[in-house]
Amino acid sequence: MKTSSASLLWSPTFFLLVLLAAFPPLATDMYLPAIPLLQQQWQQPLQVVNLTLVAFFVSYCLFLLIYGPLSDRFGRRRPLLGGIALFILASIGCALSNSVGQLIVARIVQAAGAAAAAALSLAITKDIYRDSERIRMLAWMGVLMALAPAVSPFIGSLVLLYASWRWIFLVQAAIALLAWLGVLRMGETLQQPIQTGALQTARIYLHLLRNRRYLVYALMVSTVVLPHFAYIAGSADIYINRLGLGEQAFSAYFAINALAFMSGSLLCTWLLPRHGAQRLLTLGFSGLLLGGLVLWLQPFGGPAGVAASMAIVTLSMGLSRPPSNNLVLKQVDRYAGAASSLLIFIFFIFGAFAMWLISLDWPDKVAVIGQLATAAGSLTLGLWLWLKRRDD
User: 7 lies in a domain?
Assistant: no
Give long-range contacts, CB 8 A cutoff, 24+ apart: 355-358. Answer: 355/50, 355/53, 355/54, 355/57, 355/229, 355/230, 355/232, 355/233, 356/50, 356/54, 357/230, 358/230, 358/231, 358/233, 358/234
User: 4 lies in a domain?
Assistant: no
Q: In this structure, what are the phi and psi dihedrals at residue 194, rounded to the nearest 5 degrees?
A: -110, 125
Q: Return d(Cα 192, Cα 167) in angstroms, integer.
A: 42
Write the DSSP assignment of 99-153 as a string of letters. Answer: SHHHHHHHHHHHHHHHHHHHHHHHHHHHHHB-HHHHHHHHHHHHHHHTHHHHHHH
CATH number at residue 232: 1.20.1250.20
User: 368 lies in a domain?
Assistant: yes
The band of 4, judged by pLDDT with boundaries at 50, 70 and 90, is very low
Question: Which of these, 19, 73, 14, lies nearest to 338 by C-alpha position?
Answer: 73
Residue % of the chain over a pLDDT of 70 = 92
**Which one-letter DSSP state was computed for residue 34?**
G
Q: Give me the pLDDT at residue 387, please.
A: 84
Round the average pLDDT of the chain to a whole number and report it: 86
Q: How distant, in Å, are the alpha carbons of 27, 28, 38 from that of 42?
A: 21, 19, 6
pLDDT at 8 > cutoff 60: no
pLDDT at 261 > cutoff 80: yes
The band of 5, judged by pLDDT with boundaries at 50, 70 and 90, is very low
User: Cβ distance 24 to 110 under 8 Å?
Assistant: no
Amino acid, res. 160: L
User: 281 lies in a domain?
Assistant: yes
pLDDT at 166 > cutoff 70: yes
Amino acid, res. 233: A
Question: Which of these, 110, 82, 95, lies nearest to 23 by C-alpha position?
Answer: 110
User: 295 lies in a domain?
Assistant: yes
User: Cβ distance 233 to 369 under 8 Å?
Assistant: no
pLDDT at 345 > cutoff 90: no
Q: Is the dihedral of CA 107, 110, 112, 116 positive or negative?
A: negative
Question: 276: Cβ–Cβ under 8 A, 6 or more apart, which residues?
Answer: none
Question: 218: Cβ–Cβ under 8 A, 6 or more apart, which residues?
Answer: 328, 342, 343, 346
User: Cβ distance 208 to 338 under 8 Å?
Assistant: yes
242 burial (CB, 10 Å; 0-12 / 13-18 / 19+) is: middle
Q: In this structure, what are the phi and psi dihedrals at residue 129, rounded to the nearest 5 degrees?
A: -110, 140
User: 2 lies in a domain?
Assistant: no
Domain that holds residue 35: 12-391
Q: Which of 90 and 137 is assigned the larger pLDDT?
A: 90
User: Cβ distance 359 to 47 under 8 Å?
Assistant: yes
Q: Return d(Cα 217, Cα 64) in angstroms, integer.
A: 19
User: 134 lies in a domain?
Assistant: yes
Domains contained in the chain, number: 1
pLDDT at 3 > cutoff 60: no
- Terminal Cα distance for the chain, rounded: 32
**Which one-letter DSSP state was computed for residue 244?**
-
pLDDT at 181 > cutoff 90: yes
Q: Return d(Cα 3, Cα 130) in angstroms, integer.
A: 7
User: Cβ distance 67 to 120 under 8 Å?
Assistant: yes
User: 313 lies in a domain?
Assistant: yes
pLDDT at 56 > cutoff 90: yes
pTM for this model (two decimals): 0.80
